[in-house]
Chain A
Amino acid sequence: MTVNADGAVTAPGAPAGLDGPTGRRTETIQLLTPEGERIEHPDYPLDLTTGEVKDLYRDLVLVRRIDTEAIALQRQGELGIWASLLGQEAAQVGSGRALGPRDMAFPTYREHGVAWCRGLDPTRLLELFRGVSNGGWDPAAHKFHLYTIVIGSQTLHATGYAMGIQRDGAVGEDGEAVIVYFGDGATSQGDVNEAFVWASVFNAPVVFFCQNNQWAISEPLERQSRIPLYQRASGFGFPGVRVDGNDVLACLAVTRKAMQAAREGQGPMLIEAFTYRMGAHTTTDDPTRYRLASELEAWKLKDPIERVKAYLVRTGSADAAFFEGVDAEADQLGGRVRQACLEMPDPEPLSIFENVYAEPNTLLDAEREQYAAYLDSFEGEEAR
């Protein structure tokens, strides 16, 4: 079995363009080619102003800049680890910008681009990776839940949240919906499959947004699935669609439609954003041990930012001054992220006992008191 350039899995002997085990045709929704050519799709009309496309370009560049700065900070010892989104900017910005202010998003630990779209200050993302908190932002403030590290667990939280929306009577015209992010590896998790079952039987307003970046650390897609991931949805009883995950316009259009359907009470949908993790799994990973450089080179030709730039240039929508302006803004943002990281104070020692429980807890009260007394016993001695 092989995966060809546009991602169709073919078994030996199967006609090109058909999926091996199912024999079904794989379609990938695309509205902007890697060369920057705008194409139409009958099911996904998208009418954006030039200004809106430029805004998306700006998002993509700024999000990549946050990522680049964070990697550098990790290399310099300022972050313990960083999970790079390099290559997945379009999937995240496209889907993130498809959300309404009242929609709720449940991320993995790599959704820095979605966080940006939800208006979360990117410096808050560093807390987890620097080790000063396990997240720490207010999910309600930006309708953006905390990062979840255990793979797939958040899909159930999102589904439960969507069931809450149903119970609040907030489905229908002017309704709310939930989007939950996960990766190709997560589709093998029991929790993800249970979330599919729950969402389906309760018709919950949740969109499952799978960024298939082809790799679960070192394991390729073939280790997770014999069929295209979006086709899993049909077995659970709801629609699935594959979108070019490096095409910000297609990701925007497809997610908009899915979210609107969910808000209106049409139930869940699975979106497989076919993309590529251009960097390492995290800063601790070395992808040269398990994948070929030629694969990365092939995907670089489909870079999510370059195609928008090409589109803006070829349509005469943006000039050099625009691109220089965005780059300058990105550098400024990078500098701000860096400065915030360096200035981030370590938490106070006794804060370890805070926020474990909402209500008073005699056990923790006793331990806090004992440890405070222990720390006080060093008073007057040289700081350790």
Chain B
Amino acid sequence: MTVMTLSKALNAGLRKALEDDPKVLVMGEDVGKLGGVFRVTDGLQKDFGEDRVVDTPLAESGIIGTAIGLALRGYRPVCEIQFDGFVFPAFNQIVSQLAKMRLRSLGQLIVPVTIRIPCGGGIGAVEHHSESPEALFAHTAGLRVVACANSTDAYAMIQQSVRSDDPVIFFEPKRRYWDKAEVDPAADLAAALPLDRARVVLDGTDVTLLCYGPMVRTCVESAVAARADGRSVEVIDLRSLSPLDMETICGSVQRTGRCVVAHEAAITGGLGAEIAARITEECFYQLESPVLRVGGFSTPYPPSRLEDHYLPDLDRVLDAVDRTFTV
């Protein structure tokens, strides 16, 4: 076991993926010499060469489009989109090409491209550097969408994503890059929790709190605080946003009868809406109160001096938890 920051765990996972399979490539803006603006790819170009760790021209559609071509030639590119708000120039290549290529070929092609996207706010950044666009990709058939929340999962999940024969959108919680946790580099990847499974982070009996990415830490802290008030909160890190692990979600909600979904993204049309609808369909008779959502407002992400109001914090999560007992 080694204690690593989330950024370092991703770096170690990518290094392992590059070592394990000569077809794995890393490509993106500033991923080579610089090691990425968050240093996630630090040192990889030095050890694996410029052909495998590629500093690309500065054009996101080009990154994804050429990655698709490389995948068609048998490679497994891992693309970095430098910031969440920069993914949109690549949106056509992701949604219209990458996600649909396998179906277009009637299953004769695989396009194993992994797209890493540092996401979310809380770092005092300028516009376009704090967004949470996951729902747009979860809405797109043909993509798998995952979000890691800690070093332990990040190390395994990035390797699982690279090995997946399906395209994976891989969200990294940028304000948690420097959080530390234990990573076991010797662990067998086959024994890791499958990529499409949620993880129960904290057991509880009174209310289920669903979250992912940067909100997992916030929600765990909320659950600890709630315990002081005598409320037992079960915290589930969804990890997979498409497909959702409804078995784990419903298993919990059917026991607790209450549910809150927390995410940084705007509530309207967000993952919480989809999850609430599915819980209503599958757990209606076990529910003691409506499924509540806590998340960003239906506004653009605000200037950073206001972001603490936009991002759900411990108190807003607790407020939502409380309301499931009063409505």
Contact of B104 among A146, A155, A191 (CB under 8 A): A146
Contact residue range for chain B? Answer: 35 or more
Task: Please name the residue on chain A nearest to B103 by beta carbon.
Answer: A355
Q: Which residues of chain A come closer than 8 Å to B66, judged between CB atoms? A: 156-157, 159-160, 163, 195, 198
Q: Restricting to B41-80, which residues have a CB under 8 Å from any CB of A? A: 51-52, 56-57, 59, 61-62, 64-75
Please tell me if the beta carbons of A160 and B73 are within 8 angstroms of each other in the complex: yes
Which of the candidate stretches B106-114, B209-217, B230-238, B296-304 sits at the interface with the other chain?
Answer: B106-114
Q: Is the beta-carbon distance between A160 and B67 smaller than 8 angstroms?
A: yes
Task: Flag whether A220 is at the interface (Cβ < 8 A).
Answer: no
- Cβ < 8 Å to B, chain A residues 149-176: 150, 153, 155-168
CB within 8 Å of A: which B224-269 residues: 242-247
Find B69's partner among A158, A358, A362, A364 (CB 8 Å cutoff). Answer: A158
Confirm or deny: A361 has a beta carbon within 8 angstroms of a beta carbon on chain B. Answer: yes
Interface of A is mostly: helix
- A325-369: CB near B (< 8 Å → 1, else 0) gives 000000000000000000000000000001111110111101000
Q: How far is the CB of A284 from chain B (nearest CB, A)?
A: 21
B102 within 8 A of A: yes
* A38 to B69 Cα, complex, angstroms: 39
A161 with B104: CB separation less than 8 A: no
Which residues of chain A are near B89, meaning CB under 8 Å? Answer: 190
Shortest C-beta distance, A236 to chain B (Å), equals 11
Q: How far is the CA of A194 from the CA of B166 in the complex (A)?
A: 25
* Minimal Cβ-Cβ distance residue in A for B112: A358
Give the Cβ gap from A105 to chain B, nearest Cβ, in Å: 12
Is A156 a contact of B68 with CB atoms below 8 Å? yes
- Residues of chain A contacted by B245 (CB below 8 angstroms): 362
Contact across chains for A157 and B68 when beta carbons are under 8 A apart: yes
Complex Cα spacing A155 to B66, Å: 9
Chain B residues near A136: list those with CB within 8 A: 104-106
Are A194 and B65 interface neighbours, CB within 8 A? yes
A191 CB contacts on chain B under 8 angstroms:
61-62, 65, 92-93
CB A115 to nearest CB in B, in angstroms, measures 15
Contact A150 B92 (CB under 8 A): yes
Given contacts A145-B72, A160-B72, A357-B166, contact A134 B103 (CB under 8 A): yes
Q: CB-CB < 8 A to B72: which residues of A? A: 139, 145, 157, 160-161, 164
A23 to chain B, nearest CB (A): 30
Q: How far is the CA of A260 from the CA of B96 in the complex (A)?
A: 32
Q: Which residues of A (70-115) have their CB < 8 Å from a CB of B?
A: none
With contacts A153-B93, A357-B102 taken as known, whether A194 is within 8 angstroms of B59 at the C-beta atoms is yes
The answer for the CA separation of A357 and B107 in the assembled complex, in Å, is 8
CA distance A160 to B100 in the complex (A): 17
Chain A residues 26 to 43 lying within 8 A of chain B, measured CB to CB, are none
Q: Which residues of A contact B141 (CB under 8 A)?
A: 356
Determine the residue in chain B with the shortest Cβ distance to A194: B62
Tally of contact residues, A, Cβ under 8 A: 45
A197 at the A/B interface (Cβ < 8 Å)?
yes
User: A150-B92, A157-B69, A363-B243 are contacts. A358–B51 as well, Cβ < 8 Å?
Assistant: no
B144 contacts the other chain (CB 8 A): yes
Partner of A201, one of B51, B57, B70, B244: B57
- A224 contacts chain B at the CB level, 8 A cutoff: no
A135 near B: Cβ within 8 Å? yes
Given the known A-B contacts A139-B109, A150-B96, A355-B107, are A195 and B62 also in contact in the complex, defined by CB atoms under 8 Å? yes
A283 at the interface (CB under 8 A from B): no
Q: Mark A3-40, 1 if CB is under 8 A from B, else 0.
A: 00000000000000000000000000000000000000
Closest beta carbon of chain B to A287's beta carbon, Å: 27
**Shortest beta-carbon distance from B88 to chain A in Å:** 12
If the complex has contacts A161-B72, A165-B73, are A355 and B196 also in contact, measured as CB distance less than 8 A?
Answer: no
Residues from chain B with a CB closer than 8 A to the CB of A145 are 72
Let me know if B74 and A164 touch, CB within 8 A: yes
- Cβ contact within 8 Å between A153 and B97: yes
> Is the pair A160, B69 in contact by a Cβ cutoff of 8 Å?
yes
A55 contacts partner chain B, Cβ-Cβ < 8 Å: no
- Complex Cα distance, B96 from A134, in Å, reads 12
- A219 on the B face (CB < 8 A): no
Q: Which one of B64, B73, B101, B243 has the highest number of Cβ atoms from chain A below 10 Å of its Cβ?
A: B73
Give Cα A155–Cα B97 distance, bound, in whole angstroms.
Answer: 12
Residues of chain A lying within 8 A (CB to CB) of residue B25: 167
Please, how many angstroms separate the alpha-carbon atoms of A355 and B141 in the complex? 11
B307 to chain A minimum Cβ distance, whole angstroms, is 31
CB distance from B96 to the nearest CB of A (A): 5
Closest to B242 in A: A363
B142 at the interface (CB under 8 A from A): yes
- A135 surroundings in chain B (CB, below 8 A): 104-106
A358/B68 in contact, CB under 8 A? no
Q: In the complex, are the beta carbons of B62 and A358 less than 8 A apart? A: no
* Contact partners of A285 in chain B: CB under 8 A: none
Known: A135-B104, A138-B108, A194-B59. A167 touches B51 (CB 8 A): yes
Which of A140, A164, A195, A361 contacts B65, CB < 8 Å?
Answer: A195
Task: A146 to B107: give the CA distance in the assembly, Å.
Answer: 12
Query: Sorted from nearest, which 3 A-B pairs have the closest CB atoms?
Result: A160-B69, A156-B65, A164-B73
Can you report 22 A-B residue pairs in the complex whose CB atoms are below 8 A from each other? A135-B106, A140-B108, A153-B93, A156-B93, A159-B66, A160-B65, A167-B51, A191-B65, A191-B92, A191-B93, A197-B57, A198-B56, A198-B57, A356-B103, A357-B144, A358-B164, A358-B166, A359-B164, A362-B196, A362-B243, A362-B245, A363-B244
